[in-house]
Amino acid sequence: MADPRAFLRVGRRGPTRRPVELRLKDWHELYEPFPADTLGEQAARCMDCGIPFCHEGCPLGNLIPEWNDLVWRGRHADAAERLHATNNFPEFTGRLCPAPCEGSCVLGIGDDPVLIKQIELEIAEWAAGSGLRPVAPSPATGRSVAVVGSGPAGLAAGQQLTRAGHRVVVFERAERAGGLLRYGVPEFKLEKHVIDRRLEQMRAEGTELRLRTAVGIESLVEVPGAAAHDAGFVPAAALVAEFDAVVLAVGSTRPRDLPLPGRDLAGVHTAMEYLRGANLVCEGALAEPPITAAGKDVVIIGGGDTGADCLGTVHRQGARSVRQLEILAEPPPTRAADNPWPAWPVILRLSGAHEEGGERLYRIATTSFAGDAGGAVRAVHAERVEQVAVTASGAPGGGPRLELRPVPGSAVEMPAQLVLLALGFTGPEQRGVVGELGCELDGRGNIGVDASYRTSVDKVFACGDAARGQSLVVWAIAEGRSAAAAVDRYLTGSTALPAPLRPGTVALA
């Protein structure tokens, strides 16, 4: 184990963000290089618990105490091997995951938890600096698998199935692979060369990435960064006929809307419409963003990670002012008594974007959008709300429920020439491949799957946000890995691929 007393004498010390005045001038990632000597000290804080709850907090089941100990001992190659044993893309999770493992860290009961996420990232970057060598696949099985979608779930499934010896083709309708990692996550959180170097490894291993190819004719209408007529397509039925198995990893891409008066005004957009254009500019695919915040008053509706992504992008485009609205109350700064360990701590979290400016408003409900004479948005009308416990006799258990009610006399008007709706997603697109195949949906509008990730259509599997619903990058990778194991078992009768999820495993996130 690591130094058995380090947690008593060494405090948590996280990475340092670059100065705001510097990082607002570019799109590079936020953090300064992490000192190597500090990394070893932070890894030594791990207590090597008899029951490592961090394993359960992580959907991937990452072997966290093991690679913490190896980092402390300076055995980075061994640490990288243990990390990649459970996680195909630790360079993604080390940047983007909110770290449910840290929320369930035993040290976090009475102290700051171990710096797990940063240690994971540093191991991944050490491995990348040493060269991401291809992993030799198992002997060829003669079976073929099509994976539709190249987000983290699709890429994880594709890589695992290639390594199991199957011929794998990943279909992506956009210009480049990565899904929301590329077209949704801003450059300042994930520089896209990080995705590209992992894709190079996958190609070297034998995974084929077939880009600008939509599966299902209706999927052609929204090809990010490419005109629809420039993209190819494969009929969904033809794909099922050609391959021995098909994995749908198409994501949860239908944005939750806000159907209020004035929603159709020019200047009111969903977050992904906005972020996609900004990312295409950073990649060099567009000279100017189709939607810009430059010189405008901006209102972002939604207080989650996507809203924060919009906030950082708005700052870099030179907005005049920006407000981010959240309908719920401000979370407490520390874990509340009714939110005990090891449950996910519902606390106030500040992203790098919140340090950079703007106003963050809580308990605010939007009521309408006001327009100017030209049909463009000019203001957002909103009001304060409060949570009220009301009796709900028909509710399960007959207990009270919380209801949001407007505060009388609290109506406000906020100037806005750009409004961004960052309200989450409601499931996969139901046209294109999902609709053409006739996949049954569950009660939430996601693709229905059984414990083996099978859909209602023979030979067709689904995983990631498309089947689970909108979730974390770490869940997407875990689902991709587990779906790959299920497909391998379907094709060959058994599998040596690990399956961290379904059935039975329920992580704490």
Q: What is the mean pLDDT of each run of 10 residues along the chain (509 residues)?
A: 81 96 97 95 93 91 95 96 97 97 94 97 96 92 98 98 98 95 97 98 98 81 47 89 98 96 98 97 95 98 96 98 96 91 90 96 98 98 93 61 92 98 95 94 96 97 97 96 98 94 50
What local confidence, expressed as pLDDT, does residue 233 receive?
A: 85
Percent of the chain with pLDDT over 90: 85
What local confidence, expressed as pLDDT, does residue 397 receive?
A: 55
Is residue 320 domain-shared with residue 385, that is, in the same domain?
yes
Nearest Cα neighbor of 111 from 10, 3, 2, 4 is: 10
Q: Please tell me the pTM assigned to this model.
A: 0.94
State residue 223 phi and psi, 5-degree precision: -100, 105
Is residue 49 domain-shared with residue 65, that is, in the same domain?
yes
Strand partners, 75: none
Is residue 284 domain-shared with residue 415, that is, in the same domain?
yes
Tell me if 159 is assigned to some domain. yes
Tell me if 241 is assigned to some domain. yes
Burial class (CB in 10 A: 0-12, 13-18, 19+), 389: exposed
Is residue 436 domain-shared with residue 298, that is, in the same domain?
no
Tell me if 463 is assigned to some domain. yes
User: Domain range for residue 238?
Assistant: 144-253+426-492
Six token digits for residue 377: 């948005």
Q: Are 237 and 389 in contact (CB under 8 A)?
A: no
Q: Is the dihedral of CA 36, 38, 44, 45 positive or negative?
A: negative
What local confidence, expressed as pLDDT, does residue 504 receive?
A: 45
What local confidence, expressed as pLDDT, does residue 159 receive?
A: 98
Is residue 451 domain-shared with residue 390, that is, in the same domain?
no
The CATH number of whichever domain residue 188 belongs to comes to: 3.50.50.60
- Domain termination residue (choose one: 421, 440, 474): 421
What local confidence, expressed as pLDDT, does residue 509 receive?
A: 42
What local confidence, expressed as pLDDT, does residue 508 receive?
A: 44
Q: 158-181 burial string, b = 16+ CB within 10 Å, else e?
A: bbbbbbbbbbbbbbbbbbbbbbbb
Rounded CA gap, 330 and 416, in Å? 23
Q: Are 93 and 477 in contact (CB under 8 A)?
A: yes
Rounded CA gap, 54 and 63, in Å? 9
Is residue 272 domain-shared with residue 416, that is, in the same domain?
yes
Rounded CA gap, 279 and 192, in Å? 9
Rounded CA gap, 78 and 117, in Å? 18
Longest Cα–Cα distance of the chain, Å, equals 71
Please give the angle made by the CA atoms of 297, 303 and 309, to the nearest 5 degrees.
70
Residue whose entry in the numeric block shows the structure tokens 């990010």? 224
Percent of the chain with pLDDT over 70: 94
What local confidence, expressed as pLDDT, does residue 48 receive?
A: 85
Tell me if 379 is assigned to some domain. yes
Let me know how long the chain is.
509
| Region of residue 184 (left: phi > 0; alpha: psi -120 to 50; beta: else) | alpha
- Domain termination residue (choose one: 385, 404, 421): 421
- DSSP characters for 146-208? EEE--SHHHHHHHHHHHHTT-EEEEE-SSSSS-THHHHTS-TTTS-THHHHHHHHHHHHHT-E
Nearest Cα neighbor of 248 from 164, 144, 150 is: 150
Is residue 203 domain-shared with residue 302, that is, in the same domain?
no
Is residue 238 domain-shared with residue 284, that is, in the same domain?
no
HSE of 445, CA atoms in CB hemisphere, 13 A = 14
What local confidence, expressed as pLDDT, does residue 171 receive?
A: 97
Is residue 74 domain-shared with residue 98, that is, in the same domain?
yes
What local confidence, expressed as pLDDT, does residue 187 receive?
A: 98
Is residue 274 domain-shared with residue 412, that is, in the same domain?
yes
Tell me if 366 is assigned to some domain. yes
Q: Give the CA distances from residue 254 to residues 184, 203, 232, 233, 272, in Å, rounded to whole numbers and listed in that order.
A: 13, 30, 22, 21, 10
Nearest Cα neighbor of 434 from 388, 403, 465, 393 is: 465
- Our count of domains for the chain comes to 3
Tell me if 134 is assigned to some domain. no
What local confidence, expressed as pLDDT, does residue 431 receive?
A: 86
Tell me if 472 is assigned to some domain. yes
Q: How many CB atoms lie within 10 A of CB 67?
A: 28
What local confidence, expressed as pLDDT, does residue 220 receive?
A: 54
The CATH number of whichever domain residue 61 belongs to comes to: 1.10.1060.10
Rounded CA gap, 489 and 480, in Å? 14
Q: What is the pLDDT of residues 309-345, one digit of tens each?
A: 999 999 999 999 999 999 999 999 999 989 999 888 9
- Domain termination residue (choose one: 378, 404, 421): 421
Tell me if 262 is assigned to some domain. no
Is residue 405 domain-shared with residue 439, that is, in the same domain?
no
What local confidence, expressed as pLDDT, does residue 507 receive?
A: 47
Six token digits for residue 439: 């996949």
Contacts of 191 (CB under 8 A, 6+ apart): 28, 29
Is residue 272 domain-shared with residue 405, that is, in the same domain?
yes
